[in-house]
A and B are shown apart, each in its own frame.
Chain A
Amino acid sequence: MDQPEKNPTIDKVNRGLKRRYRAERRFRILGATAILTALCFLFLLFFSIVSSGYKAFEKTFIQIEVFFDPAEFTNENLAAANFPGLIKASMNSMFPEVTSRKDKKDLYYLISPGASFQLMKQVKNNPALIGQKELIWVAANDDVDMLLKGNIDRTRPESERRISDKQLGWLDTLAHDGKIKKTFNTAFFTSGDSREPELAGIWGATCGSFYTLLITLSLSFPIGVAAAVYLEEFAPKNRWTDIIEVNINNLAAVPSIVYGLLGLAVFINFFGMPRSTPLVGGLVLTLMTLPIIIIASRASLKSVPPSIREAALGIGASKMQMVAHHVLPLALPGMLTGTIIGMAHALGETAPLLMVGMVAFIVDIPHGFTDPATVLPVQIYLWADSPERAFVAKTSAAIMVLLAFLFLMNAAAVLLRKRFEIKW
């Protein structure tokens, strides 16, 4: 071949090169686009949650001057006094020009129904208030809150918004007098659920989540580790262990709602355990997280090199001593990492808990494993279903808190892995 440039194969290849490189580039761009799309979704998700939720961390208060009329406190029981009446009276004295019955009702509407409980608490803590005049900041109604945060459009016709023109006027007067303020919403973190958005908080759900996870952790960690140790270190290789293994892998992929059905049929109907309690919720979540923990623990045990086992056996340790003194301590960080990830999973789980009745409307803060309770994700679900506009912001805020918890747990898992990971 003295004229290699005339080689027909090379020509053919060269002719196709441009097209092939184009295809290559196209494919590469496609791949990058796929990742960017996924990340875009992630960003959009966070953006929509944060933008609709950050306002819920602020709360609007209105200052009123309350006269604790001694005539109202004749009864021995201070709680029997007419606290709503006190608030109405103070509103009347602030706006003496409001006379008609309907207008008065609209005026009282500006103050949250929770304000009378606030007064009651203050009087209980300090009975010396009776007979005095006090300036007090009380929570505003959720519609007022929404208006001041810009979620209700003032320019729309009166019939289309929940705050009337008159109420707007009163609020403007109050704002002008410096009697409206927005502060950090501590009630959101310290109170239980409520029908009134301005009073609702996540503390009750947080406590419920805490008790539920406590049960889950204290059951699933020991059982999971024990099962993993048995399967990895002691189990004879026979049909039974095979069945258990396949079983565990399948259980990890069973839809979570099926665990809810199990909890309903077995724990509640068969064993008669109390509904809506962290006890039952924790048991259901235990069954759900157990496979996750077993699988992670087995992987962790597998990564301990056999030389450790042989060395321990070689100096005369029994099998149990070899596992308890050498293998288990080395595998423990990995097991803990898996457990934290399983717990994070359990913290975010909703569906099975709906089945065992943790979806009830519960105002009280739970104080034990058998008190009716709800958990954070279920609280989010309940609020997301509420019609009030203000609950949208609350839901997003609760989601932010939940995500913060999850972030902390996962960060702890990563830290643990980084700190104790041993490369053999």
Chain B
Amino acid sequence: MRTPYLLITIAVLACGSYFLGRSRAFAVAKGCGGVKGLHSLPGHYGMWTALWCAVPALLVFAIWNAAESPIITALVVAGLPAEISSLPPSKLGLIMNDIRNIISGNITSGDPSPAIIKAAEHYRALQMISVDAMSAVILSIMVAAGLTIRTRISPTLKARNKVEKLVQLLLFLSSAIAILITVGIVLSVLFESIRFFKVIPLSDFLFGLSWSPQTAIRSDQVGSSGAFGAVPVFAGTAMIALIAMLVAVPIGLMSAIYLSEYAGSRFRTIAKPLLEILAGIPTVVYGFFAALTVAPFIRDTGGLFGLSVSSESALAAGLVMGIMIIPFVSSLSDDVIHAVPQTMRDGSLALGATKYETISHVIVPAALPGIVGGILLAVSRAIGETMIVVMAAGLSANLTANPLKAVTTVTVQIVTLLVGDQEFDSPKTLAAFALGLLLFVFTLVLNIIALYVVRKYREQYE
């Protein structure tokens, strides 16, 4: 039986056992004065039966699928002729790939030898046996569980409490996934980073001034020695983020102030959603916009003034990233400005201050911690943003303060190092994970500070 059908069968059987359990509960209830005599509702008995059917079956399914491939591979390897199975593991891996390719009908490397074709048939036969065996085991477990639980149903069985306990456990596991994701992120970047720092010392990575991750494949190759000093990459990231914030903070903050303090309700209902549209546009669209429209425009304008502007200038990428972040800054500032109590405004206006004076002397200082928190979140967005810089910023790691030149960023380097073929033992690939670790840690710290500041600020006025 193929996997989708098996899953559908499990679902159907589980539904069936629900009704089985329920009808059994009704039958049992007749002996003790109707449904009232049962401990739980008949549906709970049904649910209890269904859970006993489905959960073990799904567990077996998951474990079987995880264990299947290695066991079959080991069996096939054992069945190979001695001269093949005694090859070193790397060559053996290639042969196993060939065998799998034959099974899935893909192109193999070269003409397969009869031994390999035979092994492929062996593999396929084992796969069939495994799937059939799994189906049989699962179905018999389900039937057995359903029938056993059915006989256990009695008026005193606390079905509801048991079902609810199990459901609550499932709910808890769902929320624990959040922790699991974080652990997964940390472990996945940490392990590869540690391997990277074994090759390249941490201090060279953090303080080195030259970045050219292309390592020579052959030892006699010229050039490409591989330098992993990440300072130019950090500098490029910082410059682009700075340009973005120079665009986004004034525009976003002023928009928020205007919308919440000056604008009439009609203007606000139109302008606010329009601003939010900017936040909903995918970043790849911004990247295309930067590369197609903004970068050539800046280059040509610079040309008019006799400036030589790179067509992948930091300015173009930063500018467009700033546009992307405007709604982020404005909606966060809008929230905190709204949280400033109306009494403070009224007090200031009653003393004869103009609206501008109220805003600049009362509202903004009161909202400042919240605004700063919002800006920090925006900075972390700008640093982690990928597509705009991949499409509009360059690859060359220049250590420069000139925004008209091409610079590169952490995210661009991660993408270029990891897209395409990778070998997981070269520092070139591992460098991407080291950069990823730094990116994660840095944005995490920014976020924690920002969230803390925003939360503290909210409490102040609640």
A148 interface residue (CB < 8 Å to B): no
Counting from the closest, the 3 A-B pairs by CB-CB distance are A255-B384, A31-B258, A348-B282
A168 interface residue (CB < 8 Å to B): no
Which residues of chain A are within 8 angstroms of B359 by Cβ–Cβ distance? 27
B120 interface residue (CB < 8 Å to A): no
B171 interface residue (CB < 8 Å to A): yes
Looking at chain B, what size class is its interface with the partner chain? 35 or more
Residues of B at the A interface (CB closer than 8 Å) are 69, 160, 163-164, 167-168, 170-172, 174-179, 181-182, 184-185, 188-189, 191-192, 250-255, 257-259, 261-262, 271, 274-275, 277-278, 280-289, 291-293, 323, 326-327, 330, 352, 354-357, 359-360, 377, 380-381, 383-387, 390-391, 411, 414-415, 418-419, 424, 432-433, 436, 439-440, 443-444, 447-448, 451
Q: Is the CB of B288 within 8 A of A384?
A: yes
Can you name 15 A-B residue pairings with CB atoms under 8 Å?
A: A21-B354, A38-B252, A38-B278, A38-B323, A38-B330, A244-B175, A250-B447, A255-B385, A258-B384, A258-B440, A261-B185, A287-B181, A378-B284, A381-B287, A403-B281
Q: Is the CB of A402 within 8 A of B292?
A: no
A315 interface residue (CB < 8 Å to B): no
Q: Is the CB of B251 within 8 A of A38?
A: yes
Q: Is the CB of B289 within 8 A of A359?
A: no
With A344-B280, A351-B415 already in contact, the answer to whether A262 and B188 are too (CB < 8 A) is yes
Q: Is the CB of B436 within 8 A of A258?
A: yes
Could you list 20 further interchain pairs (A-B, Cβ under 8 angstroms) beyond the known A34-B258, A258-B440, A264-B188? A23-B354, A27-B360, A38-B275, A38-B326, A38-B327, A39-B271, A42-B278, A222-B174, A244-B175, A251-B178, A253-B381, A255-B384, A255-B411, A255-B440, A257-B414, A259-B185, A320-B163, A348-B280, A350-B386, A385-B391
| A41, B323: Cα distance in complex, Å | 7
Residues of A at the B interface (CB closer than 8 Å) are 13, 20-21, 23-24, 27-28, 30-35, 37-39, 41-42, 44-45, 48-49, 52, 222-224, 226-231, 234-235, 243-244, 246-251, 253-262, 264-266, 269, 272, 287, 290-291, 294, 318-320, 344, 347-351, 354-355, 359, 377-378, 380-381, 384-385, 392, 395-396, 399, 402-403, 406, 410
> Looking at chain B's contact residues, is the secondary structure mostly helix, strand, loop, or mixed?
helix
Q: Is the CB of A320 within 8 A of B278?
A: no
Which residues of chain A are within 8 angstroms of B414 by Cβ–Cβ distance? 257, 261, 355
How close is A371's CB to chain B, nearest CB, in angstroms?
Answer: 11
Which residues of chain B are within 8 angstroms of A294 by Cβ–Cβ distance? 175, 178
Which residues of chain B are within 8 angstroms of A229 by Cβ–Cβ distance? 171
With A44-B293, A351-B411 already in contact, the answer to whether A253 and B443 are too (CB < 8 A) is yes
Q: Is the CB of A266 within 8 A of B184?
A: yes
Choose among B171, B192, B271, B377 the residue with the greatest number of A CB atoms under 10 Å from its CB. B171
